[in-house]
Amino acid sequence: MKQMSWKKSSFVFVILLVFVLAQSVFAQQDEQEEELPRLIFDDGIAGKLEVEIHYGYWTLDLFKGMFEDDLTQSLSDEIAEEIAIKINESGHNITKIGHDHSLVFGSSGSVYGFELRFYPGGRYSSFSLGVSIEKTHMEAIVEGPVNVQFSDGSYAEMDAVGIVELNPLFTNLSFRWDIKPDWVVTPYFVLGLGVAALNGEVSYKYNGTYYWAMGTEEHEDEDKRDIKEVEEDTDFNMPNIIPLLQICLGVRAEVIPHLHLKAEAGIWDGLILRAGIAYKF
């Protein structure tokens, strides 16, 4: 599936930023060995608080092997059933006896948010604790042909698209360790956990040809339902919340006093590439 150009651009931007910042770590190490070490002291609240805004690109494609078959099968079952209903509503009285599909999986999404971070040890402490609000868009798409067979020998060949779209608002708690907190550019590691209420929509659309004894017919249809409606219609018990696991590696650079640029990559219930800007008081 083709991704939109802005998603490709955001991916390239984050990768380049990580590369440039990482190179700066090694370039500055020898220079700083000749300088007097910075003093670490407790100066009240100054140096202990940081605010940040960030934006990132999200995808499930690297992990699709864990659930691709189940998702494509479930959506193809739903689409095939709707195709059979639609054809019968057009004046036929036939029974669906089977179907097959060649649906292909893809995913995309975005994450943007605001974070407040606390450094208990002061301005140059390695450990920090962050609390953030993250608006996340997650979209899983399957598309391709779905073929339905009927009891009288007739059949339908349809091009179909099924979409699961989630828009959770995560509250996230993260723990970060800066490897060299007194460097201008430093790598870091983040471990976080979050939670969000389940909300989103499931939709499909199809169009194609129905072949029967008297000729052919063109059919098309589409439908969209929210997650709760799908749960009621399918009698499937879905969780009310979405857990979040965050494991990321990144680098940050102090471009002017107190102002930092950041870039990171890792796990965010999928793969995330993210960049941001932070100000430490």
Q: Which residues of 87-105 are buried (b: 16+ CB within 10 A; e: fewer)?
A: beeeeeeeebeebebebeb
How many Cα atoms sit within 13 Å of 110 on the Cβ side?
11
Answer yes or no: are the C-beta atoms of 161 and 143 closer than 8 Å.
yes
Residue 128 CB neighbours (<10 A): 22
Question: Phi, psi at residue 196, to the nearest 5°?
Answer: -150, 155
What tokens were used for 280? 């430490």
Work out the burial of residue 182: count CB atoms within 10 Å of its CB; fewer than 13 is exposed, 13-18 middle, 19 or more buried.
Answer: middle
Domain ranges in the chain are 5-280
What is the CA 24 to chain-centroid distance, rounded? 29
Residue 201, C-beta contacts closer than 8 angstroms, at least 6 positions apart: 163, 164, 165, 224, 225, 226, 227
CATH value of 5-280 in 1.20.210.10, 2.40.160.20, 3.10.20.30, 2.40.37.20: 2.40.160.20
Say whether pTM exceeds 0.85: no
pLDDT in tens, the chain (281 residues): 334 444 444 444 445 554 545 454 444 444 444 443 444 444 567 779 999 999 999 999 888 877 788 888 888 998 999 999 999 999 999 999 999 999 999 999 999 999 999 999 888 889 999 999 999 999 999 999 999 999 999 999 999 999 999 999 999 999 999 999 989 999 999 999 999 998 899 999 999 999 999 999 999 999 998 888 877 776 556 678 999 999 999 999 999 999 999 999 999 999 999 999 999 98
